[in-house]
Amino acid sequence: MDPEQVKIPAVVRDRVALLRKEIIRHAYLYYVNDSPEIPDYEYDALFSELKSLEDAYPDLIVPNSPTQTVGGAISSSFEPVVHGMPMMSLDNVFSEEELREWMHRISRLDDEVTGSLLVVEPKIDGVAISLLYRDGVLVQAATRGDGITGEDVTANVRTISVIPWYITDRCLEGKVPAYLEVRGEIYMSISSFEQLNKVQIEKGLKTYANPRNFAAGSLRQKDARITATRPLLFWAYQIGSASDEVTHNIRSQTEALQYMSDCGFPVNPEIRTVRNIQEAVDRCVDLQKCRHDLPYEIDGAVIKIDDFDLQQRLGSTSHAPRWAIAYKFPPEEKVTKLIAIEVSIGRTGRATPYAVLDPVTVGGSTVSMATLHNEDQVRLKDVRPSDMVIVRKAGDVIPEIVGHIPESRPVDSQPWKFPDRCPSCGGPLIRLAGESDTYCITIDCPAQKIQRIVHYASRVAMDIEGLGEKRVDWLVSAGLVNDLGDLYSLDRDRLVAMSGLGDLSVSNLFHALDESRQRPLYRLLVGLGIRHLGPAGARAIAREFGHLDAIMNADFNELSVVEGVGSVIAQSIQQFFAAEANRRVIDNLRKAGINFGDVVIGGVQGGRDGGGMQSGGRDGGGMLAAGMEDMSDQGLLPIALTGGEAGAGAVQTLVGKSIVVTGTIEGLTREEAEEAIRERGGKAVGSVSKKTWVVVVGRDPGVTKLHKAEELGIPQIDAAGFKDLLETGQLPD
Ligand code: IVH
């Protein structure tokens, strides 16, 4: 090539340098600060000018040019990223003894373990991320995925203000590394999370399950502008792959943490380097004590051998390093006063007793009530008003009352008696012989009405944004809505005048209602709240009959032969449609133009949010127990509800993944577990093969499947892991 041809005029070089600087500044203002200085078209013009100059002078292209690194805000899918070094998980210990045993075990592998330094770090309850810097510029951010392959979430991660776009030159005497992978945890502070849920409740919207799920959902937004609105934070805790100047100079975890901090990464101030296992144990105990004083959630401590050479000699098992261990904190228990036992009424009339507690912070959140399930449970736990009770909460599980403190029981204490009148309508509460549940049998009971409408609007059913418990309660109390059909004949002006809601909120609500008219038939079936009929059965019935009228006219045999339905559901469907009041509701829905015929079976109505959602009010007030009743009515126990519900509209966390479920997963039928996988874009398959991504192992699993999984080295997870998997699409550690 003629050397003259590649000569680049100085004016071009200068212009390119200026364009890059400007583009990066504007991208930062746009994605991170959310305060663009120039309109999009001007930004696009700068970008395309740079692009055309680089096209004309390809020698000018450098890896950290915005044309190579700054993608668009919207990514239509997350590209797979194969990690240079697998992102391993950690083995867990649950007590001081087990921690010492770990130390003992690895001391036998290498003489230098005894006497070596250890690093104790908080185990952040967030989402693991790998950040790749070339020539000091962030070029790629990837989730952990299955540890080998993650997902490219670069555009989203660029919106997190504490994650540097550039490595500062304070590290290693001003030398920016050619290549550096920093690993750490993206998380959300507890206060931001609480603030977020407060706003959700005020708006009558659904609350998010916990900060971790919310962070995970935020990271998987298709539109980075949404991620940019989420207050995400980051702690760096590991150097992954790096170029020689780093690996030669940084020889311990303590040095690595200092180096990452010098490079501009946030490094957790609670991390300590200690001299022996006793000091490590002491630090774990201290962290456990102060865990709830920290502004973010931690679920344990991670203890690491400090020296990198020693780490390397100890090596790893197939899934976790031997040189590190996670010390998991036990579920937290607190004592508080049980102020009263009250009863809430669910949509089927089920009366669920729950404890009203003196608010207490436990397991990272304030607990002011806990379900007591039913009359027998109250008796079994022997809890009474004015008792001091022990409340337990682990992670995001529903708080539970473990028992009472006998010594502090007042002398005049009396056992609690289940009320015989409904707290909402005053009608009789009936418990049939041989059953553990008590029911309000008044058809017109306002509490049931409210819960039926809330369920109809919920994400598992018709997915109507803006119809949370608070708003429905108001609509019913104001006399504007009496049954489901009334939702569609609300008068806009009257609603604005009476509710005090702004025009925008009302418009949004009407828009959401309008959209719900086109939901597929199975969602309508779920929304009607037919006892025992969950999303899986509803799909099967909808697929078989294709129209609501055909289902209403079907006889018992026709219904019960549908796969996955059976006689209990068939009978329940018939009873439902036989009731005059229900037929009236159906007529009203028909008049409102709701889709009764199945046009979109299997169509996934895109979820509105990636954060783990839960029904409104579960944490947010006196409706907790009612929400719980709804779960069991659906056959959906907390596993499905603390995170993305097992209904369509769920976030597509499992696209293309083959998953085998074996054994019983508590709270879900096999069908429902498989349905939950399908709803999230995954494939629920019947037998284990090389293509299987993970095997979900419930109670009494199939031995052949387990053997096969072991033989092929397919990861296995339990029910809790399954829950995480549904919510985040990530394999648990
Ligand atoms: S080190 C090979 N340090 O815990 C070891 N992990 O259960 C890599 N985590 O996937 C992990 N805080 O997402 C490490 N200070 C910390 C951590 C931490 C939280 C997470 C991380 C990892 C999981 C393992």
347 ligand 1 Cβ < 6 A: no
Residue position matching structure tokens 């500062």: 168
Find residue 327's DSSP bridge partners: 93, 301
pLDDT above 70 (res 204): no
Which pLDDT band, with edges at 50, 70 and 90, does 649 fall under?
very low
Residue nearest to ligand 1 atom 13, measured at CA: 128
Taking only the tens place, the pLDDT of each residue in 263-292 is 989 999 999 999 999 999 999 999 999 988
First to last CA, the chain: 54
| pLDDT band per the 50, 70, 90 thresholds, residue 432 | confident
> Would you say 218 and 226 are in contact if contact means Cβ atoms under 8 Å apart?
yes
Please spell the DSSP secondary structure of 362-389, one letter per residue: ETTEEEEEEE--SHHHHHHHT--TT-EE
Is there a contact between 222 and 165 (Cβ–Cβ < 8 Å)?
no
Ligand 1 neighbour 612 (Cβ under 6 A): no
pLDDT of residue 74: 32
Span 332-408: which CATH code? Answer: 2.40.50.140
3 state DSSP class of 13: helix
Counting every residue written for the chain, the total comes to 733
CB of 121 closer than 6 A to ligand 1? yes
Has residue 449 got a pLDDT over 80? yes
Q: And the tokens for 435?
A: 């059953």
Distances in whole angstroms, Cα of residue 456 to Cα of each of 78, 98, 158, 424: 33, 48, 38, 20
| Atom in ligand 1 nearest the alpha carbon of residue 733 | 7
If pLDDT is split at 50, 70 and 90, which confidence band does 209 have? Answer: low
Residue nearest to atom 9 of ligand 1 (CA): 123
647-728 under CATH 3.40.50.300, yes or no: no
Active-site choice (7, 21, 123, 206): 123
Radius of gyration of the chain (CA): 29
Q: Is the CB of 324 under 6 A from ligand 1?
A: yes
Which among 83, 85, 90 is the best mutation to test ligand 1's pocket, defined by most ligand atoms within 8 Å of the CB? 90
Give me the pLDDT at residue 196, please: 84
Chain segment 17-55, per-residue pLDDT in tens: 999 888 877 776 655 554 667 766 677 778 888 988 988
pLDDT of 363 > 80? The answer is: no
Token pair of 253 as six digits: 């975890």
pLDDT value of position 30: 58
* Angle between helix 190-202 and helix 211-219 axes, rounded to 10 deg: 80
Question: Is ligand 1 within 6 A of the CB of residue 186?
Answer: no
For residue 555, give both structure tokens.
Answer: 């006889």
Q: Evaluate: CB of 321 within 6 angstroms of ligand 1.
A: yes
CA angle (242, 179, 318) in 5-degree steps: 35
Q: What is the pLDDT of residues 289-341, one digit of tens each?
A: 998 889 999 989 999 999 999 999 999 987 789 999 999 888 788 899 999 99
Question: What is residue 147's DSSP assignment?
Answer: S
Q: What is the pLDDT of residues 670-694, one digit of tens each?
A: 777 887 888 777 888 888 888 889 9
Type of residue at 219 = L
Q: How many CA atoms lie within 13 A of 346 on its CB side?
A: 27
Is any atom of ligand 1 closer than 6 Å to the C-beta of 187? no
3-state secondary structure of 234: strand
Mean per-residue pLDDT for 110-127?
A: 95
Site to probe by mutation for ligand 1, drawn from 237, 304, 312, 329 as the one with most ligand atoms within 8 Å of Cβ, is: 237
Report the C-alpha gap between 210 and 394 in whole angstroms: 12
Contact criterion met (CB below 8 Å) for 236 and 253: no
Delimit the domains of the chain by residue range. Answer: 3-68, 88-328, 332-408, 446-637, 647-728
Which residues sit opposite 140 in a β-bridge?
A: 132
Residue 27 CA to ligand 1 center (angstroms) comes to 31
Q: Give catalytic status of residue 417 as yes or no.
A: no
Cα 54 from Cα 60, distance rounded (Å): 6
- How far is Cα 640 from Cα 398, in angstroms, rounded to an integer? 12
Band (pLDDT 50/70/90 cuts) for residue 655 is confident
- Residue 83, token pair as written in the block: 């990690």
Do residues 658 and 676 touch, judged by C-beta distance below 8 A? Answer: no
Cα 591 to ligand 1 centroid, rounded to whole Å = 55
Ligand 1 contact, 728 CB (< 6 A): no
CA of 544 to the centre of ligand 1 (A): 47
Residue nearest to atom 17 of ligand 1 (CA): 123
State the pLDDT confidence band at 180, using cuts at 50, 70 and 90. Answer: very high
Cβ proximity of 676 and 649 under 8 Å? no
What does the pLDDT read at residue 329?
87
The chain-wide mean pLDDT, for the chain, equals 83
Does residue 406 contact residue 391 with C-beta atoms inside 8 Å?
no
90 lines ligand 1 (CB under 6 A): yes
What atom of ligand 1 comes closest to residue 88's alpha carbon?
Answer: 2
Mean pLDDT of 518-527: 94
Alpha carbons 336 and 345: distance in angstroms, whole number: 25
Highest mean pLDDT among 145-159, 176-190, 701-715: 176-190
Using the atom order of ligand 1, give the atom closest to the CA of residue 320: 2
CA gap 67, 47 in Å, rounded: 7
Q: What is the pLDDT of residue 206?
A: 62
Tell me how far apart the alpha carbons of residues 22 and 17 are, in angstroms, rounded to a whole number.
9
- Interval between CA 449 and ligand 1 midpoint (Å): 46
Cβ–ligand 1 distance for 89 under 6 Å, the answer yes
Q: Per residue in 230-251, pLDDT tens?
A: 999 999 999 999 999 899 999 9
- Ligand 1 near 661 CB (within 6 A): no
* Atom number of ligand 1 nearest to Cα 326: 7
Residue 190 beta carbon below 6 angstroms from any ligand 1 atom: no
Element (H, E) at 708: helix 703-712
CATH number of 3-68: 1.10.287.610
Question: Ligand 1: distance of its center to the CA of 297 in Å?
Answer: 14
453 alpha carbon – ligand 1 mean position (Å): 43
At 26 the pLDDT is 78
pTM score, two decimals?
0.56
pLDDT for residue 76: 40
Mutate to test the pocket of ligand 1, among 92, 120, 124 (most ligand atoms within 8 A of CB): 124
446-637: CATH topology: DNA polymerase; domain 1 (1.10.150)
Ligand 1 atom 21, closest CA: 128
Percent of the chain predicted with pLDDT > 90: 46
Cα of 333 to ligand 1 centre, how many Å?
A: 25
Write the pLDDT tens digit of every residue in 603-639. Answer: 333 332 333 333 322 222 223 333 333 333 322 222 2
CA of 305 to the centre of ligand 1 (A): 14
pLDDT of residue 714: 83
Contacts of 585 (CB under 8 A, 6+ apart): 483, 484, 485, 528
Q: Give the per-residue pLDDT at 598.
A: 62
The verdict on the CB of residue 673 being under 6 Å from ligand 1 is: no
Closest atom of ligand 1 to 271 CA is 15
The answer to whether 301 and 120 have CB atoms below 8 angstroms apart is yes
**DSSP string covering 678-713:** HHTT-EEESS--TT--EEEE-BS--HHHHHHHHHHT
C-alpha 266 to ligand 1 mean position (Å): 15
Residue 128 near ligand 1, beta carbon < 6 Å: yes
What is the distance between the alpha carbons of residues 639 and 727, in angstroms, rounded to a whole number?
Answer: 10
CATH of span 88-328: 3.30.470.30
DSSP secondary structure string for all residues of 50-85: HHHHHHH-GGG--TTSHHHH---SB-SS--EEE-SS
